[in-house]
Amino acid sequence: MTDHESVTARIIIADDHPLFRSALTRLLEEGSGLEVVAQAADGREALEFCRRFGPDLVIMDLSMPNMDGLEATRALRRESPSTIVLIMTAYEDPERLSEAVRAGAGGYLLKTAHPQQIVDAVSRALEGGSPVDEELAMGLLSRLAEERLGEVRARSPVLPDLPPRQWPRSALLRALTPREVQVLRLVVQGYSNRRIAEELEISTSTVKNHVLRIRAKLKASDRTQAAVMAMEMGLVSGP
């Protein structure tokens, strides 16, 4: 059950394949009682529907005509930061996942996922989780770590060849409280706010406040980016 159970969550599906849109609509409406309020054939149409319906979540394909999923995600995050974007694509490519995270996507799934995995991922995203295919996530972390090391080397040519976990991070560790580190570890593992609250025996609102403070300290736009930063900088252990 999600925090949205009292009011049915409103979903928009953006994909240029009509058969996939129809199948996904049936899966979500029949399997989980969610409401698909619109189906968009491209990114531009997805933005128009979002302005009209104000959805809770958009399931966004990456490769679409007129405006692709990444561009649409960036625009949607600017216009409606509270709307969750869940990328669903056929591409097993950490580089595209990296671009999606930077664009503000709250999760990333492959179209080959089992139907129940898709339903679970949508529920987790609506609860505040960050569903990401595990193998893709590990590839993303490796890529981002390489990028960060390259940036640091460019700024400091004398920096030795150190893995990301050995970069100086004492300031950030001092900035995070022990409780925030606990919360961040569970965020990295993909826990929703409700599951974190149960695990730590605190209220959901307290968890939300911790997550907001963590994002502010890490200068992360959302919990997914906070988790990625925590992993690549060695602030917490991985799943």
The confidence score (pLDDT) of residue 237 equals 52
Are the CB atoms for 60 and 105 separated by under 8 Å? yes
Main-chain dihedrals φ then ψ at residue 79, nearest 5 degrees: -80, -35
Distance of CA 188 to the CA centre of its chain: 11
What CATH class is the domain 10-134? alpha beta
CB atoms within 10 A of CB 27: 17
SS3 110: strand
Predicted confidence (pLDDT) per residue in 211-237, tens digit: 988 887 777 777 888 887 777 766 665
157-232 has the same fold as 10-134: no
Q: Is the pLDDT of residue 165 over 60?
A: no
Distance CA 156, CA 163 (A): 15
Helix (H, G, I), strand (E, B) or coil at 6: coil
Give Cα 161 distance to the centre of its chain.
30
- List pLDDT tens digits, range 8-55: 889 999 999 999 999 999 999 986 778 999 999 999 999 999 999 999
Q: Whole-prediction pTM value?
A: 0.59
Minimum mean pLDDT range among 78-82, 109-113, 151-155, 181-185: 151-155
3-state secondary structure of 49: helix
Amino acid type, 38: A
DSSP percent split of the chain into helix, strand, coil, nearest 5: 55, 10, 35
- What value does the mean pLDDT of the chain take? 78
Q: For tokens 């968890």, name the residue.
A: 207
157-232, what's its fold? Arc Repressor Mutant, subunit A (1.10.10)
110 CB-near residues (< 8 Å, 6+ apart):
88, 89, 90, 91, 92, 133, 136
Residue 184 has pLDDT above 70, yes or no: yes
Domain map (residue ranges) of the chain: 10-134, 157-232
Q: Are 73 and 105 in contact (CB under 8 A)?
A: yes
CA distance 238 to 183: 13
Q: Write down the pLDDT at residue 129.
A: 73
Within 8 A by CB and 6+ apart from 129, the residues are: 107, 190, 191, 192, 193, 195
Residue 110: the pLDDT is 84
87-133: per-residue pLDDT in tens?
988 876 767 777 887 788 888 888 888 898 889 889 888 887 776 65
Residue pair 11/40 in contact by the 8 Å Cβ criterion: no
Maximum alpha-carbon separation in the chain = 59
